[in-house]
A and B are shown apart, each in its own frame.
Chain A
Amino acid sequence: MTEAYVQEKPAEVLKPPVTSVGIIGWVRSNLFSSWFNSFMTLLVIYLLWIIVPPLIRWAFIDSLWLSTGAECQQSDGACWSIIPANIRFIIFGFYPYDQQWRPLVAMVLLIGLLFYSRDRNHWKKSLLYAWLIGLVVMGLLMKGGLFGLSAVETTKWGGLPLTLTLSVFGLTAAYPLGIAFALGRRSKMPAIKMISILYIELIRGVPLISLLFMSSVVFPLFLPEGVTINKIIRAQVAIILFTAAYIAEVVRGGLQAIPRGQYEAADSIGLSYYLTMRLVILPQALKIVIPPSVQQLISAFKDTSLVVIIALFDVLRTTQTVLSDPKWMGFSPEAYIFVALIYFLCCFFMSNYSRRLERELETGL
């Protein structure tokens, strides 16, 4: 027989049980909870002991920061002097020495605009104009030939400005193009669908290096005689086309995650295809694919260093050039650490921003 039950008084709310307290409790439960964990802890402490002190000694205590190459050869420590001594060549490449303030101002302008655009409250029409004006000013600064600025051939462009140009324009142009191809691949119109599939599969099927070679070697053969297209622009286009194919597939993943009901709801209030995509589907789909998109953009950013194979001097190539100078030979770890730091800062900025964007767009679903 079932016994009737009626609660007489509500259960008390209690604090969770405390199993360990204080630092010792934490150490015991996390570092020495079993003999195997104790062994691993001791091993890691030993490895750190033999690696970290010499590293600090090399990098900071015995290191030279502002010396000549010859002094460096005598020392055991890191030769950071290679960076300040060659910084202008690493950053600006073969850009005329006395004109290097121009790419510097252009870069500061670009980075300033990027930072200002971080805040979504600033995304207004005026920002678009600021970018348009900024781009013209940057182009003018780099190329010169007007307002008393001497003209600088694009073959002289190099270093960090080149890396930033290739990546910033590469990524901003590739993203919308990728979205277009993703929508195209899901289109009901057979021709558009076929073209999109063909494009995505073809481009994804070849390495970026081969695209860069084609843009630099094969493509000019098809141009009529006398017509030349700037090498940087050709590399830029190759990077855009390549990245767009990958972005397209990332975005398509997001589009597939949107339930049919969203399309139907948009249809039922009479939104056109364009408005449905712009106002309902893409904002949701793109939010879902922020992590893989940023992944893709970071990887594309680093891939811009492949332009060295068509003899463009990006920041990695200028660094290598410095290393081939007999005065500074043998200090490649220091130089590469510096370049790695530049790449890391840019990538960290991107991933940091993407996490912030995800937080801001969180709507509780």
Chain B
Amino acid sequence: MVTQKSEIAESALADDAIIEIIEMHKWYGDFHVLQDINLTVKRKERIVICGPSGSGKSTLIRCINRLEEHQRGKIIVDGIELTNDLKNIEKIRAEVGMVFQHFNLFPHLTIVENLTLGPIWVRKIPKKEAEEIAMQNLEKVHIAEQAQKFPGQLSGGQQQRVAIARSLCMSPKIMLFDEPTSALDPEMIKEVLDAMIELAQEGMTMIVVSHEMGFAKSVAHRVLFMDYGQIVEGNTPEAFFENPQHERTKLFLSQILH
């Protein structure tokens, strides 16, 4: 169904870590939502995180660009540690693209305005140049002909591809995907996954929270399984799906793979 692994250019992973999460904890009030998370992501690595709902997988990737604040431990993104310093946070957010479950396009702006907002106001790129970048990225997700429309006039799959293009316009070093296909009708999932696969082929560092196991098998270097706020198991896709070690992983896989 999805592109075979061999088709994706297998560039050797660089050795330097682009994200380091060390003994990180997070609480919502009294609820210990993330417990002792340790994760190192290498440059160009692609990680798929799966797990039951409420397991903390979305919260984890939202901590990486500080949409959520962690209370203990360290998160270092591209050499910058995430602290309360606003300047640091804005700098990291500009380097880390994020795609949401519900797209979150700006409904009052046209597609091309959605894409140029960040480049013009954060990157200070001249408008004309920003529009060229926007058109290139729209072409990349095969949706350039919709540039002048408003988000409300597009289908879910198209909106999600625009959201991917919007992140790409900031030339991010890392892309985070928070269940990018969960809110889509079945016939639109493939077009979004295809756009993500193309991105993978270009060597983008990606962390994807998803239950698309076909995508995980063909694209990911590593699959992580989270449950009750902990990383329970992590392995290459082959080993993860063929030979899961932990009881909870086995149970989870038996529930989603029929």
Interface on A for B, CB 8 Å cutoff? 259, 261-262, 264-272, 275, 279-280, 283-284, 287, 361, 363-365
Q: Are B118 and A261 in contact (CB under 8 A)?
A: no
Q: Are B105 and A265 in contact (CB under 8 A)?
A: yes
Interface string of B198-238 (1 = CB under 8 A from A): 00000000000000000000000000000000000000000
Q: For A270, give the chain B residue with the smallest CB separation.
A: B94
Q: Are B150 and A269 in contact (CB under 8 A)?
A: no
Chain A residues within an 8 Å CB radius of B86: 272
Per the bound structure, the CA–CA distance linking A239 and B100 in Å amounts to: 45
Which of chain B's residues 117-166 have a Cβ closer than 8 Å to chain A?
117-118, 121-122, 150-153, 166
Q: Are A271 and B150 in contact (CB under 8 A)?
A: no
Min CB gap A4→B, angstroms: 25
* Interface SS, A side: helix
Per the bound structure, the CA–CA distance linking A96 and B167 in Å amounts to: 65
Per the bound structure, the CA–CA distance linking A269 and B65 in Å amounts to: 10
Which of chain B's residues 78-117 have a Cβ closer than 8 Å to chain A?
86, 90-91, 93-94, 96-98, 100, 102, 104-108, 117
Min CB gap A270→B, angstroms: 3
Min CB gap B245→A, angstroms: 34
Chain B residues within an 8 Å CB radius of A266: 106
Q: Is B239 part of the binding interface, using a Cβ–Cβ cutoff of 8 Å?
A: no
Per the bound structure, the CA–CA distance linking A122 and B175 in Å amounts to: 40
Min CB gap A246→B, angstroms: 25
| Complex partner residue of A268 from B97, B105, B107, CB under 8 angstroms | B97
Q: Is B50 part of the binding interface, using a Cβ–Cβ cutoff of 8 Å?
A: no
| Complex partner residue of B121 from A279, A283, A287, A363, CB under 8 angstroms | A279
Min CB gap A289→B, angstroms: 14
Q: Which 6 A-B pairs have the closest CB atoms?
A: A270-B94, A365-B152, A269-B118, A364-B152, A265-B104, A261-B104
Q: Are B100 and A275 in contact (CB under 8 A)?
A: no
Per the bound structure, the CA–CA distance linking A270 and B118 in Å amounts to: 7
Task: Give 8 CB contacts A-B under 8 Å.
Answer: A262-B104, A267-B67, A268-B96, A268-B100, A269-B94, A269-B170, A270-B118, A279-B121
Q: A265-B100, A279-B121 are in contact. Are A361 and B108 (CB under 8 A)?
A: yes
Q: Are A265 and B106 in contact (CB under 8 A)?
A: yes
Q: For A273, give the chain B residue with the smallest CB separation.
A: B86
Per the bound structure, the CA–CA distance linking A267 and B65 in Å amounts to: 9
Chain A residues within an 8 Å CB radius of B97: 268-269
Chain B residues within an 8 Å CB radius of A259: 104
Q: For A280, give the chain B residue with the smallest CB separation.
A: B106
Chain B residues within an 8 Å CB radius of A271: 90, 117-118, 121-122
Per the bound structure, the CA–CA distance linking A267 and B102 in Å amounts to: 15
Chain A residues within an 8 Å CB radius of B118: 269-271
Chain B residues within an 8 Å CB radius of A275: 121-122
Query: A268-B93, A269-B94, A283-B108 known; 20 other A-B pairs, CB under 8 Å?
Result: A264-B100, A265-B98, A265-B104, A265-B106, A267-B93, A268-B67, A268-B100, A268-B167, A269-B117, A269-B166, A271-B117, A271-B118, A275-B121, A279-B117, A280-B117, A287-B108, A363-B150, A364-B150, A364-B152, A365-B150
Chain A residues within an 8 Å CB radius of B102: 261
Q: Are A363 and B94 in contact (CB under 8 A)?
A: no
Chain A residues within an 8 Å CB radius of B122: 269-271, 275
Per the bound structure, the CA–CA distance linking A79 and B219 in Å amounts to: 87
Most buried by A among B65, B118, B153: B118
Per the bound structure, the CA–CA distance linking A279 and B113 in Å amounts to: 11
Min CB gap B204→A, angstroms: 16
Q: Are B100 and A364 in contact (CB under 8 A)?
A: no
Q: For B123, give the chain A residue with the smallest CB separation.
A: A270
Q: Are A270 and B100 in contact (CB under 8 A)?
A: no
Min CB gap B37→A, angstroms: 20
Chain A residues within an 8 Å CB radius of B170: 269-270
Per the bound structure, the CA–CA distance linking A270 and B173 in Å amounts to: 14
Q: For B121, give the chain A residue with the smallest CB separation.
A: A275
Min CB gap A265→B, angstroms: 4
Per the bound structure, the CA–CA distance linking A361 and B167 in Å amounts to: 25
Q: Are B153 and A264 in contact (CB under 8 A)?
A: no
Per the bound structure, the CA–CA distance linking A261 and B105 in Å amounts to: 9
| Complex partner residue of A270 from B91, B104, B152, CB under 8 angstroms | B91
Chain B residues within an 8 Å CB radius of A364: 150, 152-153
Q: For A261, give the chain B residue with the smallest CB separation.
A: B104
Per the bound structure, the CA–CA distance linking A363 and B105 in Å amounts to: 13
Per the bound structure, the CA–CA distance linking A162 and B100 in Å amounts to: 53
Q: Are A269 and B153 in contact (CB under 8 A)?
A: no
Per the bound structure, the CA–CA distance linking A264 and B166 in Å amounts to: 14
Chain A residues within an 8 Å CB radius of B153: 364
Chain A residues within an 8 Å CB radius of B105: 265
Chain B residues within an 8 Å CB radius of A365: 107-108, 150-152
Q: A268-B93, A271-B122 are in contact. Are A363 and B100 (CB under 8 A)?
A: no
Per the bound structure, the CA–CA distance linking A361 and B110 in Å amounts to: 12
Q: Are A264 and B104 in contact (CB under 8 A)?
A: yes
Chain A residues within an 8 Å CB radius of B67: 264, 267-268
Q: For B122, give the chain A residue with the smallest CB separation.
A: A270
Per the bound structure, the CA–CA distance linking A262 and B170 in Å amounts to: 17
Most buried by A among B98, B105, B108: B108
Chain B residues within an 8 Å CB radius of A283: 108
Min CB gap B255→A, angstroms: 29
Per the bound structure, the CA–CA distance linking A365 and B108 in Å amounts to: 8
Min CB gap B175→A, angstroms: 11
Q: A261-B102, A261-B104, A264-B100 are in contact. Are A269 and B152 (CB under 8 A)?
A: no
